[in-house]
Amino acid sequence: MPKREPIAVVVLAAGKGTRMRSDFPKVLHKAAGRTLLAHVLHSAAEAKPERTVVISGPGMPEVGAEARAIAGDAVIAIQEKRQGTAHAVGIAQDGLKGFDGTVLVLYGDVPLIRPETISALAQAVSEESPLAVLGFRAANPTGYGRLIQNRSGKLVAIREELDTTVDERRIDLCNSGFIAIKAKLLWELLPRITNDNAKHEYYLTDLVGLTVAEGRQVALAECPEAEVHGVNTRAQLAQIESLLQARYRQEAMDNGATLIDPPSVFLSADTEIGKDVTIEPHVVIGPHVRIGDNVEILAFSHIEGAAIADGARIGPFARLRPGAEIGKDAHIGNFVEIKKARIGEGAKANHLTYIGDASVGARSNIGAGAITCNYDGFEKHHTEIGADVFVGSNTALVAPVNVGDASNIAAGSVITQDVPADALAIARGQQVVKAGWAKKYRELKKAKKLQRGKR
């Protein structure tokens, strides 16, 4: 088996995204809970590149920060003046100094590209074909650069649409912009590219013609059109979101989850879902969520940054915020909010409850309207609830406070001190009953009303 040639990745991410009408760099807009740039870098990472260079624009430090959050050793190169794709790739040369292998050029605003496609493009490069281009068959090729082949089917040029002839515009084999090229050839040919074209820019696509002119072949890899959709507008971002959601829903169902109404369920790129999970309609799952096996997530629940163990039941109308850890067979019911709290095995909070900065032990029951008062206006404090505890309805647990195992909290209590194990805590005003008071009150009010009517 031939030795795998080293791979380097160059990601073009300098675009401002003017048509997005945004103060944020285009590649930092999100789809399925992940930035466009992060989608591309995650896919590229599976090719195990030895080096990663991200081309950013001036005044975009957030792009570099995001790139390094995904690929910690990424080199960030700044394209001060946007003069085309070839110019952008040339800026990566310092970051690739000494690299001798295959360079993959990817785009930071094309988030649907799959790892398998990236690997296939890299593998298309050989001694006979030191350059490979990724193409696709377009349903409507208008606006795309065309891949020009000779009579024997060999790729000989890429023509931007503004520079095509009438006949060339009928071609449906289009350029994705992604290429793979041997590093030595890249640095030999890049200085030869000119800006003699309609836009007066330096096009990376000219590498094809230059390679062919040297008597070398250019390989062609193909992928579905949907995989190379880019983002330039908010409408296109919405389309990308839709395509990603369809992909992730299908993967979840293929892996053993039941989605009652798939189009109404929204997942994130990093959502982990076990088998025999049932997700009802209108559930939103944000980033960093792990769901175990045999979990039920009922309608209209919102979950982010949470871990849900096997057999748990969530919702309907539940909200799990970052740091929520739901134990095995636990129940989190309607209008319950959990934040930075651990809910033990078999514990229940079935309705109208807030649990934040807390720990709830196994089999404990949290009554309706109970809350942990975790914030004093300046700092957050922790509430510790032991195992087998019964917390009555409308209880306020004022943190920091500890509630011992197997204790009971009477309904309507405001607990400000620790409760020992096996104790009953009651913290509310003493009830006073005045017999006959309501009848006398009604008669007094009726008499006054009657008197006003006679005036």
Strand segments, DSSP code E, in 197-289 are 218-222, 258-259, 272-273, 278-279, 284-285
Residue whose C-alpha is closest to residue 10's, from 40, 39, 30, 36? 40
Here the tokens at position 271 are: 């959502």
Phi, psi of 339 (to 5 degrees): -140, 125
Using CA atoms, how far apart are residues 157 and 152, in angstroms rounded to an integer? 14
Q: Bridge-partner residues for 169, per DSSP?
A: none
Give the position of tokens 């005045």. Answer: 434
**Which amino acid appears at position 5 of this protein?**
E
The 8-class DSSP code of residue 23 comes to S
Give the position of tokens 């950013």. Answer: 56
How far CA 13 is from CA of 26, 105, 106, 134, in Å, comes to: 8, 11, 9, 19
Q: Using an 8 Å Cβ cutoff, are 377 and 360 in contact?
A: no
Using CA atoms, how far apart are residues 14 and 78, in angstroms rounded to an integer? 8
The yes-or-no answer on residue 42 being catalytic is: no
Here the tokens at position 142 are: 């208008």
CA torsion sign for 411, 414, 419, 423 is: negative
Here the tokens at position 114 are: 């799959």
Here the tokens at position 115 are: 């790892």
DSSP 377-437: SS-B--EEE-TT-EE-TT-EEESSEEE-TT-EE-TT-EE-S-B-TT-EE--SPPP---TTH
Residues 435, 440, 442, 448: what is their CA dihedral angle, to the nearest 10 degrees?
A: -160
Residue whose C-alpha is closest to residue 29's, from 338, 273, 239, 333? 239
Which residue among 42, 331, 351, 382 is the active-site one?
A: 351
Within 8 A by CB and 6+ apart from 161, the residues are: 142, 143, 144, 145, 146, 169
What is residue 9's three-state secondary structure? strand
Please give the positions annotated as active site: 351
